[in-house]
Structure 1
Amino acid sequence: MRPEFRIFLCFTLFIVTAQASLFKLAPKARRAYQTLQSRYTSYSAVSANLAKCACGYYIPETKQTFTHHVVLNPSTFTSSDLATALSRQGWIISGWEQTSSPKNILYTPSNLKYNPSSKALELTVSGGSSSRSSIPSAEISTIMSKILYGSFRFNVKVSSVAGACSGLFFYKDDNHEIDIEILTSHIHNTTTQKDGIPKPGVQLSVQPLTETQALKNYKVVPFDGNFDPTKGYHEYRFDWLKSGVKYTVDGNAYGSYTRFIPKTAGSILINNWSNGDPYWSAGPPTKDSTLSIRSVDLYFNTTDTTAIATWKAACKKAAYKKVCNVPKSKSG
């Protein structure tokens, strides 16, 4: 063990236990930790608190320290060019058409706007005729595409206009995906549902790891009267570790999975879309249906070797002492 590690070992036990292999400690000093994941960029997207949090971000509920932090804070946008403002915080706007049925989904940059009154980023599914062949929708994703494990928090307000699906999720491909979705057509529906139509509530799923595997990780948590997703902002969160995925809403446990957990790096996405499918998004909406984002906080690791080297160098320069404790989830 190098001398500098001995000096700071007593002060940084929780750093060491979370990141032991990075410092190449003797086996007896190691404990389970999450492999580092994410793509480092020159953007200010990497936490604005990078200097004081050079050795990472400790999440008390998970007992894990993660190396990277990307935020989305629309109230601090300093550019009138939305694409530029988002890229500075580590996000990119989607612009493509997804083949779907019965309608295509058209992710349109112009359907993304900053609302200076509410200081929120708005992702809109355009209202209009049901005869449209494609439905203008909106989506953003992290610039970093090698995210693996972390704590992901989204402070959002969902539209009360029926016919859209609001998604907050990790995505590598259709077999490596962790979802939080709210279907605006199925929020206040208390009538008997037809076969195959989702029940009202937060739709939580971890997609199957193979195409032939039956989906095992899916549940709907009903809105229990404690909150209405269309009234005010609420924090939707998932913690993704090697051991499983745990969901919370406003700090309250909403379910967990321990089987078929993705172990492949990918991106975090937020979208609001419709394809007119009566068995999921329903719609399309007859008027604009907007998902409003007040803030997003992503604490995570990366597989990018350059990012790992940069993080190690910054932590060494900080004398292995600068780890930030992350507050628990917000309560609404």
Structure 2
Amino acid sequence: MQPELGIFFYFTLLIVTTQASLFNLAPRSLRTYRNLHSRDADNTVSVNVASCACGYYVPETKETFTHRITLNPSALDNSNIAASLSKQGWAISNWVQTSKPKNIKYSPSNLKYNSNAKALELIVSGGPASRSTINSAEISTTIDKILYGSFRFNVKASSVAGACSGLFYYKDDNHEIDIEILTSHIHNTTTQKDGIPKPGVQLTVQPLTENQAFKNYKVVPFDGRFDPTKGYHEYRFDWLKSGVKYIVDGNSYGTYTRFIPKTAGTVLINNWSNGDPYWSAGPPLQNSILSVRSVDIYYNTTDTTKIAAWKAACKKASYKKVCSVPRSKSG
């Protein structure tokens, strides 16, 4: 790297990174970028965490994020999924959500590791439509102080109708960034009734207050693009101060700039049904499975303990070790 280019990156990262004030970089210090992925493969290169001590640079956003969370299903122990998920920074939900017309029960038993697919499966249980409670599945990051970042989910949706698969940031109902796939409304095959969601991927940034207009919502049709039930696809959103950009398989699906959350929260993945014909529909007559191949989250945090540890590690690395994050994969 030429000195002029190194200095440019130094000042760029200082200015645009949300937590740039935490760097306390020595004058004229230069960064060494380490690519997390090989040039000829999709697999992550074995990079010691110390090599990324100063963060993760996302070229498309021109920002460096301080921390990373991954979900690697192939490293899960099927005999104790909860413990092995916890080691990776994830927790399993176990509670009943009161809902209409049917309640949703997030059950740990509805999570399975599929060794053949090397994927974590979130299951909405199949059964009779007369059920009053629908067994579903949900996981969340154990850290609940995530503020801004690049969030990437490599998943395959179910072809079984009657479920809602969600990939999202959440603080509360007015601080929420959603990617949702409704398995009853995937393709344009029939004319939709009034109030029924249009087929496609549902992209929503919720209003920041209850009285704000519901502006940040749109549906991007799958038809002519890809089939989410066939193969794994990368669904991604980049959440910055300036806006939320949606990307699927490397293709931009739009950017929202209004009502952008500025509050730290958690990241969740769920698959559920409550039988509501105007959203999840269902319940499914047979198991409807969201299959998760991997998750990569590069983020900043408001957790003071994590910030202090990051500052110390970056200082020990002479402020030089930043990993360069690859662009989204194409489907």
TM-score when normalising by structure 2: 0.89
Change (3 A) 1:61 1:194: same
Tell me the CA shift for residue 67 of structure 1. 0.3
Equivalence for 1:211: 210
Equivalence for 1:321: 320
Equivalence for 2:238: 239
CA–CA distance in structure 2, aligned partners of residues 119 and 268 of structure 1:
22
CA–CA distance in structure 1, aligned partners of residues 252 and 11 of structure 2:
28
Equivalence for 2:72: 73
Instruction: Name the SS of the counterpart of 2:86 in structure 1.
Output: helix
Instruction: Name the SS of the counterpart of 2:234 in structure 1.
Output: strand
Equivalence for 2:265: 266
Which stretches in structure 2 are left out of the alignment for 5+ residues? 1-5, 29-45
Tell me the CA shift for residue 205 of structure 1. 0.4
Tell me the CA shift for residue 78 of structure 1. 4.8
Change (3 A) 1:134 1:314: same
RMSD in angstroms over aligned alpha carbons?
Answer: 1.9
Instruction: Name the SS of the counterpart of 1:298 in structure 2.
Output: strand
Amino acid of the residue matched to residue 14 of structure 2? V
Instruction: Name the SS of the counterpart of 1:196 in structure 2.
Output: coil
Amino acid of the residue matched to residue 82 of structure 1? I
Instruction: Name the SS of the counterpart of 1:208 in structure 2.
Output: coil
Tell me the CA shift for residue 287 of structure 1. 0.4
Tell me the CA shift for residue 291 of structure 1. 0.2
Range with bigger deviation, 59-68 or 215-224: 215-224
Equivalence for 2:173: 174
Tell me the CA shift for residue 77 of structure 1. 2.3
Which stretches in structure 1 are left out of the alignment for 5+ residues? 1-7, 30-46
Tell me the CA shift for residue 143 of structure 1. 0.4
Alignment of 1:180-195 (within 5 A): 180-195=179-194
CA–CA distance in structure 1, aligned partners of residues 188 and 49 of structure 2:
45
Amino acid of the residue matched to residue 242 of structure 1? K
Amino acid of the residue matched to residue 16 of structure 1? L
Equivalence for 2:284: 285
Change (3 A) 1:202 1:94: same
Equivalence for 2:35: none
The number of equivalent residue pairs is: 306
| 8 Å contact from structure 1 (residues 135, 284) kept in 2 | yes
Equivalence for 1:16: 14
Once the two structures are superposed, residues 89-121 of structure 1 have per-residue CA deviations (whole angstroms, 9 ceiling, x without a partner) of: 100000000011000010000000001111100
Change (3 A) 1:218 1:281: same
CA–CA distance in structure 2, aligned partners of residues 289 and 260 of structure 1:
33
Tell me the CA shift for residue 20 of structure 1. 3.6
Alignment of 1:1-332 (within 5 A): 12-17=10-15, 18=17, 19-23=19-23, 49-78=48-77, 80-332=79-331
| 8 Å contact from structure 1 (residues 11, 321) kept in 2 | no
TM-score when normalising by structure 1: 0.89
CA–CA distance in structure 2, aligned partners of residues 272 and 23 of structure 1:
39
Identity, % of aligned pairs? 77
Tell me the CA shift for residue 212 of structure 1. 1.7
CA–CA distance in structure 1, aligned partners of residues 51 and 106 of structure 2:
37
Tell me the CA shift for residue 224 of structure 1. 3.2
